[in-house]
Structure 1
Amino acid sequence: MALDKSFVNVILLGLAFMLIFAAFQTWGNIQTTIISSIQADNDNFEGANGYISMAIIYVVLAIFNWTSPSVISVIGPKFSMLIGGITYVLFIISFAVPRVWLLYSASVVLGIGAALIWTGQGNYLALNSTDQTISRNSGVFWAMLQMSMFIGNIFVYLVLQGKTEIDTKTRQIIVWTLSAIALGGLVVIFFFPKPPPRPIKEKPDTPTEDSNDSSIPEFMGPRQALTEAVKLFCTNNMLLLCFTFFYTGLELGFWSAVYGSCISFTENLPNRKELLGLSGIFFGVGEVLGGALFGLLGSKTNKLGRDPIVIAGFIVHTVTFFAIFVNFPSTAPFQKDTSDKAFISSNPYLAMTCSFLLGLGDACYNTQIYSILGGVYANQSASAFAIFKFTQSLAAAISLAYASKLVLYGQLSILLGFAIVGTITFVIVEWRQKRSALAVEHSISDSE
């Protein structure tokens, strides 16, 4: 694996996101628990709800994703990511002075910044990749991103070790330490090099629905960028992929907020506050293992296709949902300190295994989504990733909106239903791309 300039840029991208999301993903995992602890000793925070805060973030993110390609066309991916990253730091710092209005205001600001940082990330990754390297680069980036789960959650595990309640001093330590880690990621983004020139693909002789991707310039005016994003969204293949994006959003809302709450609120789990940090670590192990594996197997993925990996992710998640179903009481997501019984005696080892499997399955889906968007839609990467994040964020917001009302078993049923549909639609698109690629190869060989 040659360390050319493009690959070094991908590594720097992974490093920056690893630091920023070591802070934010860890915070999201414990936010509901933190808010509950603040409310126990601070009357100014009554009425705050972690699920609502996260839902606001994803709703605003979904809306502003449509404008992010236009912003990137003006200021470029680097400064889009830098501005977006600043909002993550501000959001975490807002908890140093807990106020309900400040929490929800910071959530809105973060939603805008998240649209910028994620669309910029997808654009920057595509600009530093080719058809031959996109699977490898997607896997490497994803593995580095999910290493953030180790950094943040090991810290949280050590800080919360032996604690049954999270006091003010402990909260302040968590807030300022995570903010400092995220600030380190901003420093890395500031020094991002410019991507090397990307060769322009020739338009294939055999047109396909998405063949116009190659003829559209990556940088365009703000209005044209928005128009092209809408046009791309309405294509048949992208509409099918949106079902896959939607499932990853539902699953994102579940693992980022709901599953941690289930662990924290289930009284039958011993040392449940410590398990909250361990859960994030095991989730990160699954994510990193999946990302590293698919990065190393990038060349084989190009030959075999992306569909076997997505199908494997579906199987992993189906098994995981059943295990969560039997291991936790149905009221676990929203009843603080519930003593309700599950189908089996709630087992901490099974809970940590489910965390690992959730991460592994998530890596299966997301690395292949990054691969197909960065490869098939290379010259429309800003628009393609904006659509991905729009659909995913909308689903995450919906997931978080019903998280505090719908029992765990109902949430798992929704996840399973959309996992089935999202997997089928991804496989359909992947098979279409394989047929299109074969048609182009035959056309080239016939012309020779």
Structure 2
Amino acid sequence: MIFEKRFLNVMVLSWGFMLVFTAFQTMGNIEKTVLESISQDDPSFSGDGYTSLAIIYAVFATCNWLAPSYISMTGPRTAILTGCCCYIFFIGSFLWPHTVLLYVASAVLGIGAALIWTGHGQYLTENSDSETMSRNAGIFWAIFQSSLFIGNLFVYFMFTGPTIKASTRNLVFWVLTVLSTIGTALLATLRKAPRKLALGEAEGVSSADKELQIPEPMRERPLSAAWHALRDAFKLFFTRRMLLFALTFLYTGVVLTFASGVYSPSIGFTKAIGKNSKSLVGLSGICIGIGEVVGGALFGILASKTGKYGRYPIVLIGFIVHTFAFVTIYLNLPNDAPFQDTDNVGYINPPSAALAMVGSTALGFGDACFNTQVYSLLGILYSTDSAPAFALFKFCQSVAAALSFLYSSHLGLHTQLCILMIAMFMGTVAFCLVEYRYRKSSNTDSPEVDPALVDVNSGEE
């Protein structure tokens, strides 16, 4: 692998995200559990973990429509740094637990999430070409998701008893706040992508170079560029291809909710699984992270094969692995596990801690199957519209996540698993159709025609 500037940019992006999300994903994994312990110590505190996460993803979904406009004025690097500051604020707010502050910080984080993920999508695309997009997406996902087992390994050793003490909670919050700050400092070193080599520009003049050739009076003003970015995002969303692809996006949001905020706390609430059930919350996060990293690394290594055999075989593997995970979770945990400590058991009595960890690993691996291929195919399909395309991906994903966190407080575990199975089937079929039509159009269109442009401008496949 040739060590070049673009690849260095991808590595800095990956490691910076890993540090920031070591803090946030660990917090998301333990939020429901630690907020319950805070409520026990302070009866005046009524903050709910699922409500907080629902606010995050609801605001995230709304702001995804505005993120391309912000990036059109500032660029992806500034958007990423702005988003990181919102993450630091959210994590730091747990040091002073207050119900109103929790929900305000959740809303602020939703704004930051829209900026950081849309900026990430454009920056990753700018530093990739048609041959390296799958590789870079896989490498990013593997490094990024290593945050799951780094942070949760720390939590596993910290949360050792049946209750979580205030001093222990605060130590965890301080460590996570510092980690997110270090990650932000690393992302501040991101450099501009090399011109003429970005995805979709390798055979012609880059958009940056084209801009340089435009006389100063004719260049678009920032507010005009922001308006055009918003308009293009709406236009792109209502193309047939994007509407179909949205079914896959929605599934990634539903399973994100389950893996990051529901499943691990459900293990911790199941008393019959063992007296150290709370420590299994962290261990479950570690296993999810292992699955994510193995999947991302594997598909990064095999990225050269996806161009030949397609991306849909990897998504089908994810479908099979997630089906296995959902079935084992259905059998192993009781229906009321997502809500609070329970003495009930599932169909397996007593519930198996080992099987629960296998389910966590399968959740992570299957999630990597879906997400790496979505990132790769999005970057190829919408190389010239990466900011709105990734913003729409995150919009659909976050809408599904917000709705999922809302119903997670009311629907039992078994009902949630049924919803996941239905969404997974629809998302898998949609992905296969999108890629099939893209590959078919690539074989029939002339090399000069970008299939993504055909889709955006005419709404036709």
**How high is the TM-score relative to the length of structure 1?**
0.93
Q: Secondary structure at the match of 1:249?
A: helix
Code of the residue aligned with 1:150 in structure 2: it is: F
Per the alignment, residue 26 of structure 2 pairs with: 26
Q: Which amino acid aligns with 1:234?
A: F
Q: Are 2:319 and 1:314 aligned?
A: yes
Q: Is the 8 A contact 2:127 2:197 kept in 1?
A: no
- Structure 2 unaligned regions, length at least 5: 212-219, 450-461
Shift of 1:436: 1.1
2:75 equivalent in structure 1: 76
Distance 1:369 1:198 in 2: 24
For the residue of structure 2 that corresponds to 1:43, the secondary structure is coil
Per the alignment, residue 156 of structure 2 pairs with: 157
User: Which of 377, 380, 400 is 2:382 aligned to?
Assistant: 377
Segments of 4+ moved more than 4 angstroms: 199-204, 216-220, 441-444
Deviation for aligned residue 1:151: 1.4
Q: 2:453 maps to which residue?
A: none
**TM-score of the aligned structures, taking structure 2 as reference length:** 0.91
Name the aligned partner's letter for residue 261 of structure 2. A
8 Å Cα contact 1:242-1:388 kept in structure 2: yes
Q: Give the AA of the match of 1:114.
A: A
What's the CA shift for 1:44? 2.9
Higher alpha-carbon deviation: 336-345 or 234-243 = 336-345
The aligned runs of 1:251-330 (5 Å cut-off) are 251-270=255-274, 271-330=276-335
Map of 1:237 onto structure 2:
241
Question: 2:108 & 2:178 partners in 1: Cα distance?
Answer: 19
Deviation at 1:221, TM superposition (A): 0.6
Counterpart position of 2:101: 102
Indicate the residue corresponding to 2:431 in structure 1: 426
Q: CA deviation at 1:442?
A: 8.3
Against the structure 1 CA distance between its residues 164 and 432, is the aligned structure 2 distance closer, same or farther, given a 3 Å change threshold?
same
How far off its partner does 1:440 sit?
2.9
CA contact (8 A) 1:263 1:272 kept: yes
The equivalent residue for 2:177 is 179
Q: Which residue of 2 aligns with 1:135?
A: 134
Q: Which amino acid aligns with 2:6?
A: S
1:349-399 C-alpha deviation (Å, 9 max, x unpaired): 000000000000000000000001111111100000000000000000000
Q: Which residue of 2 aligns with 1:208?
A: none
Closer, same or farther: CA 385–443 of 1 in aligned 2, 3 Å: closer
Q: C-alpha distance in 1, partners of 2:121/2:281?
A: 30
Name the residue aligned to 2:5: 5
Q: Over aligned residue pairs, what C-alpha RMSD do you find? A: 1.9
TM-fit CA distance, 1:39 = 0.5
Q: Indicate if the aligned counterparts of 1:139 and 1:291 stay in contact, CA closer than 8 A.
A: yes
Partner of 2:458: none
Distance 2:397 2:328 in 1: 25
Structure 1's 338 and 74: CA in aligned 2 closer, same or farther, altered over 3 A?
Answer: same
Given candidates 413, 417, 428, the residue that maps to 2:418 is 413
Structure 1 vs Structure 2: percent identity of aligned residues? 49
Per-residue deviation, residues 197-251 of structure 1 (Å, max 9, x unmatched): 13484899xxxxxxxx9xx999981000011111111111110010000001000
CA contact (8 A) 2:125 2:133 kept: yes
AA of the residue aligned to 1:13 = L
Classify 1:95/1:439 alpha carbon distance in 2 versus 1 (closer, same or farther; 3 Å): same
1:203–1:124 distance in 2 versus 1, CA, 3 Å: closer
Q: Return closer, same or farther for 1:10/1:42 CA change in 2, 3 Å cut-off.
A: same
Question: In structure 1, what is the equivalent of residue 455 of structure 2?
Answer: none
Q: 5+ unaligned residues in a row in structure 1: which ranges? A: 205-212
Which residue identity does 1:419 align to in structure 2? M
User: 2: distance between equivalents of 1:20 and 1:246?
Assistant: 24
